[in-house]
Amino acid sequence: MSHILTELSTSGNSRLPLPEARARNVATILSTIQGHKWTLTSFLMDLFSPDQGNYVTSQMQIQMVSYFLGLCSTFGADDLAEMMYVQYMNIDTPVMASRHTLPLMGGGAC
């Protein structure tokens, strides 16, 4: 597996990698997901599902999902849901002709 790039942005207090590194990191992670015969949907289902059958959730998975779902995360589940909603509403298809605006919650502050 290729190694994930970690060059950090120097603008502001951002802890995100530079845009070019972020794009390469996303491509690497998505290729890894495909390499394990997952779809993005099946990966997310496994990521957010509790133990099932012989699958035991790792401590790393528990910690990372808990942090993502927690109130102290700078980008959390509510932000992701909003991004998905906005992306979906921007798809120009006949089905989307009757768009409705729903109130969206912002991220929690710590």
Side-chain-facing half-sphere of 98: CA atoms under 13 Å = 1
Q: How many angstroms separate the CA atoms of 70 and 97, rounded?
A: 35
Residue 55 forms part of a structural domain: yes
Domain of residue 59, residue span? 19-92
Residue 78 forms part of a structural domain: yes
What's the structural domain count of the chain? 1
Q: How many angstroms separate the CA atoms of 50 and 69, rounded?
A: 14
Residue 6 forms part of a structural domain: no
pLDDT in tens, 24-47: 999 999 999 999 999 988 898 888
Q: Per-block average pLDDT, block size 10, for the chain (110 residues)? A: 48 68 92 94 86 83 85 78 82 53 44
Q: How many angstroms separate the CA atoms of 34 and 53, rounded?
A: 22
Angle CA 41–46–49, to nearest 5: 115
